[in-house]
Chains A and B, each alone.
Chain A
Amino acid sequence: MTTPIPHTGRRTTGGLFLPFLLTAAFLALACLGPDPAHAADPAGPAGAYQAASPHLYRHIKGVNPRVAVWLVAQLHLWFAAFVLAVPAFVLVMEAAGVLRKDERYDRLAFEFIRLSTTAYTLTAAFGAVLAAVLFAFYPGLIKYMSRIFSPTFAPYLLLFVVENACLYAYRFGWKTMRQGRAKLVHMGIGGLLNLTGIAIMVIANAWTTFMMSPGGVYQSGLFSGRLWEAINNPLWNPLNLHRFMANIAFGGSIVAAYAAYRFLGAGSDGERAHYDWMGYTANFIAVAALLPLPFAGYWLTAEIYAYSQQMGITLMGGIFGWLFIIQAVLIGALFLSANYYLWCGMERSDGGKRYTPYIKYIAFVIALCFLVWFTPHTPQMRPSEVRAIGGQYHPVLGPLGLMPAKNIAVNIMILFTFLSFLLHRRSNLEATVRWAAFGKAAQAAIFSAAVLNITFLGVYYGYFTNTVYKVASSVPQVVTTILAIAACTAIDAVLFRGAKRTGPVRWGKMPARSQYALVLLAVSFTWLMGLMGFVRSAIRQHWHVYGVVRDTSAHAFTPSITYATRVVSIGTVVFMALMVFIFYLNGRKRDEGLL
């Protein structure tokens, strides 16, 4: 178990008050009223925006305003994603502990929330710095946005204060509210914490998506006065869903990395077993949220295309097409590391050996899907290769570069990752029901039928019918995947009810390399979020608010892919370094009688 160290009240007090101070600072900044000269401009906000160009941007010698805002916003988002996600699965785990009457879940949930609380302070700090740099460098844009969204600022800040209070009450009330009705109150606080967190996220998403797909404004930029239209713009809900799911997956992966960090430094078998279980649980959360994530991403992208063909093509086929190849590589790394961790975990019990021969086949299929997933439609080629092939498109690989092939690949990759989980789950179980053979055959049949159906839908509707059906066919593909997973899980649950155990699960019996897979999972997620966040934002190109407010600064150009990946990589290194520091601090805290 962790080594207890004296708990200092000073750090806690600082942690409590810092967010409040930062809130006050943000409030002061947000309360800066609109410039009277701009308000009186008959051309409306956009006209005022363009007319007052000398005052739209501020410069500080030696500071690149775009990179400053970019990095601070990204760091704020990473921490925010983490602190929004963790309470969600902490609450589920706490409830599971109560329902199963298992103290282990409660202890684990507490350790998760402890990690989140430390990160919360940094989230607030980066949020305040972000507000400050935005006001400092982009006053014109902030004033324009404030004119439209100022009614949302007060609820945002109020929610932030409530969330803050809930988080600290939830975290510091854990011990005193452990039993009886107090536990229910404690879970109620957890529920409120989650609700306020989600509300904060959706408000911020409204501001962000308004900049991509503005609603409630005229072409001139003049605000119609209909705030709801500005909030409920075409990309708001797709981004809400995508971010919520991605946050859960990301939060799970960071906690898994923490578990790996503690596992590798564990001083006893008991400690190693505890952090192995924590890593397994966190990886499960990350993978469970990762599996449906491509579907949410597909919806968001389809909505981007529907809103603006130009933004859609810029995103997937234009200058950001190559970043999507990097994205595909990182997603492949996520799937591979999550699977590898499950494969290594099969050796925790003796019964797992029955399934290890299947690993190579699963690996082969996932690798194949992975290669299709990142095959570009128009690969980089030397002139001699272009001549040999006879054009820009490879006759064999070209069709694999289109979305139908990628949809087939990602759905099958998800199904086989689920298969890894299924085999891992039953590694120390032996079904005792009479219909065991029939049940397993039914699972195999469902699985095979799903793979065939996904392939048929992708090939037929993707390549042999009008393209209007191409996008539509992804829906039955997703439904097939979800139904197959649901059906196999349901059969598995009944099949292994009252199953014979082939031996104990030896928590802690995991090789060190499996823990590095968990670290890779967290780093890949972080990097991926940074890169895709950049792409989502950068497809606006030289617009602050797409099609309405033009970026007239010296930094309006789209950075090269190399430059962008360098900035995101620096951000990733800074974030991971701060997270490791949080891991270190958390490891030094006393256990407070819970761990």
Chain B
Amino acid sequence: MRIPGPLQFALLTIAAYLVLKAPGLVVQAPVPSSLVTLYMFFAVVVILLAMTATEAGTERLFGPVRRLFAEPGRERTRYTVVFAVAAAAALITYANLRPSYEAPVLARTVHPAPPRTMDAYGRTFDLSTLENPLRRLEKDDPQRFEEYVRQGGTIYFRNCFFCHGPKLDGRGHLAKGLDPAPLPFAGTDTIAQLSESYLFWRIVKGGRGLPEESRPALSSMPAWEGYLKEDEVWKVILFLYEYTGNTPRRWKEEKG
């Protein structure tokens, strides 16, 4: 027996919704509700488009609906369907508008744009050309490089790990008290996509030092220029990349 069009539409819509809910149930990583709304809107649109691409499909989907509202003797079913649809809409609306003590969702600039230049440690850094001065040791003097990485690790665990966590995953002791949450460094989608000069700027200037171009960007990151020396910042950066197995973003391929 072939499933009636409206039922098939409803089943496909529910299936799409369940797929979106699966990450929350299976890997404890729920899809954010803002994305579920967006995804569902387009899932419904695509299901409708695919089902109405042919005349037969359109008739299969809308034929029963038309008959329900046009044919006499179907009053009871008609009123039941109308009531059910209205009740579902009311429930969804209530669920979305129900007052909550939770802080509202805030659209913000997560990835602020760096300035061209930055003043720190008594001089001006050109961020478009700035490179980690210790990076060349990776090839020239691997032993010293490893030592700097180790020192960077010590600096990290003395200063940064409270928020960014022992696994560099942004889940430190204080992380749950912060909104927005601290940046995770593990994985291939955060610092692996950034140049070392970008990290240098963010660490040195923190949230307070964001330039006008980068507003609005909330950040509870301290400005470390008052607490760490320049070479200590570079060492921490070496550690962040080494520990997570990432390589910093470069604009040009290294020669040799």
Given contacts A382-B33, A541-B213, contact A467 B193 (CB under 8 A): yes
Contact flag A386-B181 (CB < 8 Å), given A340-B53, A367-B46 = yes
How many A-B pairs have beta carbons closer than 8 Å: the answer is 189
Question: Which stretch of B78-86, B152-160, B243-251 is in the interface?
Answer: B243-251
Q: Is the C-beta of B30 less than 8 angstroms from some C-beta in chain A?
A: yes
Docked CA distance A340–B109 (Å): 36
- Asked, given contacts A356-B54, A393-B190, A402-B189, whether A386 binds B29 with beta carbons under 8 Å apart, the answer is no
**A547, B115: Cα distance in complex, Å:** 11
Contacts of A386 in B (CB 8 A): 179-181
B55 part of interface (Cβ distance < 8 Å): yes
Which residues in chain A, 340-367, are within 8 Å of chain B measured between CB atoms?
A: 340, 343-344, 346-347, 356, 359-360, 363-364, 366-367
Contact of B102 among A374, A376, A383, A464 (CB under 8 A): A383
Known: A310-B114, A374-B38, A541-B213. A383 touches B53 (CB 8 A): no
Q: Which one, B29, B104, B248, B251, contacts A389 given CB within 8 A?
A: B29
Q: A386-B180, A513-B52 are in contact. Are A394 and B32 (CB under 8 A)?
A: yes
Please indicate the chain A residues that have their CB under 8 angstroms from the CB of B55 in the complex. Answer: 347, 511
A387 within 8 A of B: yes
With a CB–CB cut-off of 8 A, which chain A residues contact B110? Answer: 317, 321, 377-378, 392
Q: Which residues of A contact B182 (CB under 8 A)?
A: 391
A391, B190: Cα distance in complex, Å:
12
- Shortest Cβ distance from A291 into chain B, in angstroms? 19
Closest CB in chain A relative to B166 CB, distance in Å: 14
Interface residues of B, CB < 8 Å — how many? 70
Given contacts A318-B113, A391-B181, contact A384 B54 (CB under 8 A): no
Check B39 against A398 for contact (C-beta < 8 Å). no
A interface residues, tally (CB under 8 Å)? 71
Given contacts A318-B113, A397-B35, contact A468 B253 (CB under 8 A): yes
Cross-chain contact B42 with A375 (CB below 8 angstroms):
no
Knowing A310-B116, A402-B193 are in contact, say whether A359-B111 is a contact too (CB < 8 A).
no
Chain B residues in 8 Å Cβ range of A393: 184, 187, 189-190
Residues of chain B contacted by A176 (CB below 8 angstroms): none
A142 to chain B, nearest CB (A): 25
Nearest CB on B from A249, distance (A): 21
B102 and A382: CB pair below 8 A? yes
Any chain B CB within 8 A of the CB of A125?
Answer: no
Say if the beta carbon of A319 comes within 8 Å of chain B: yes
- Cross-chain contact B188 with A310 (CB below 8 angstroms): no
Q: List 26 interface pairs A-B (beta carbons < 8 Å), by A numbering.
A: A309-B128, A317-B111, A340-B49, A344-B53, A346-B54, A363-B50, A367-B42, A370-B42, A371-B43, A377-B189, A378-B110, A379-B32, A381-B32, A382-B32, A382-B102, A386-B179, A391-B183, A392-B183, A393-B184, A396-B27, A396-B31, A463-B189, A467-B192, A467-B247, A467-B250, A470-B193
**Chain A residues packing against B (C-beta within 8 Å):** 306, 308-314, 317-319, 321-322, 329, 332, 336, 339-340, 343-344, 346-347, 356, 359-360, 363-364, 366-367, 370-371, 374-399, 401-402, 463-464, 466-468, 470, 511, 513, 541-542, 547, 561
8 interchain residue pairs of minimum CB distance: A317-B111, A343-B53, A363-B50, A313-B113, A367-B46, A467-B249, A314-B113, A378-B110
Interface on B for A, CB 8 Å cutoff? 23-24, 27-35, 38-39, 42-43, 45-46, 49-50, 52-55, 58, 102-107, 109-116, 127-128, 169-171, 175-176, 179-184, 187-190, 192-193, 195, 212-216, 247-253
